[in-house]
Amino acid sequence: MKKAVSVYALIVGIGMLCMWSFFIVSGNLGEFETKPAEITFHLIAEFGTAVMLISAAALSLGRKPLGKPLMLAALGMLLYTVIVSPGYYFGRGEMPFVIMFFVLILLTAAAIGITAAVTAKEKNN
């Protein structure tokens, strides 16, 4: 299960980088014109989350001690973003994205639970 969490974090992190990079390069972020400060800070948070997820996955897969605490922090960042993000799509009536984020909320919460349980178990041994 530990490896599954790392693979999940890696896939989501890479997916976030790809998605946001595509939106920026393709010019599909009208918020740069309407809300430049908000989208800039949002992108900093999204890219930061992606980098944290990828770093945590790499450290965890490499069995480095910093992997688990960094994974918990990265997954916490991800949980925040997947809770906040559906509102944007709900307001636009894009329900498939709302459903996708609901699934990501469940998967991320499960990943946090698994990582916390494994960390606690290892500390007790």
pLDDT digits (tens, 9 = 90+) for 77-125: 999 999 999 998 999 999 999 999 999 999 999 999 999 998 888 888 7
Q: What pLDDT score was predicted for residue 1?
A: 65
**Contact between residue 31 and residue 41 where contact means Cβ atoms under 8 Å apart:** no
State pLDDT tens for residues 28-81: 888 888 999 999 999 999 999 999 999 999 999 999 989 999 999 999 999 999
* Measured distance CA(104)–CA(16) in Å, rounded: 12
Q: What is the pLDDT of residue 108?
A: 98
As a three-state string, the secondary structure of 29-76 is CCHHHHCHHHHHHHHHHHHHHHHHHHHHHHHHHCCCCCHHHHHHHHHH
- pLDDT attached to residue 73: 97
* Number of CB atoms found within 10 A of residue 124's CB: 6
